[in-house]
Amino acid sequence: MASISFKDCSVVINSVDLSDRVRSAVLTFEIEAQEVTAMGGNRSFIGGIQNNTFEVTLLQDFASNETEATVYSLVGTQTTIVVKPTSSAVGATNPSYTLTAAYLTNHTPINAGEPGAVGEVTLTFTGGTLAKATT
């Protein structure tokens, strides 16, 4: 069984490749459970709607076409995110996950922390529809 060490994750937000700014990325695919238990039966569930989450920590950068320029205008809107385990071509061992209509609630452009700390931005996109491609 092969294992993977994430060191070349590809992240494209709103058609902008921010892969070189990524510190961490967590994509969670969830189908909400809907209870359909009837009297006299055991608990039973069926799948409801998708409730996806994408959390990414990026190095802050105020240059054009970088972190701030890409993210600031997305607050309060829906966007598309494409994530791959590596920057290599899409395939069975490097699937592409496309999250469409993902909503960004907030953004903290200045997160100074302590003196000398690296500037980072953590974003959480919610909702949307997730699709996986291997070709």
* Number of domains the chain is built from: 1
| Average pLDDT value for the chain | 93
Domain-located, residue 116: yes
**Which residue range(s) make up the domain with 43?**
10-133
List, as one string, the DSSP characters of 6-53.
Answer: -SS-EEEETTEE-GGGEEEEEEE--EEEEE---TTS---EEEEEE--E
Residue 1 within a domain: no
Please check whether residue 69 lies inside any domain of the structure: yes
Tokens of 61: 């950068």
Q: Report the CATH number at residue 34.
A: 2.40.30
Examine residue 80 and state whether it is found in any structural domain, yes or no: yes
pTM for the whole structure: 0.88
- For residue 67, give the H/E element and its range: helix 67-71
Whole-angstrom distance, CA of residue 124 vs CA of residue 27: 10
**Span 1-50, pLDDT tens digits:** 567 778 889 999 999 999 999 999 999 999 999 999 999 889 999 999 99
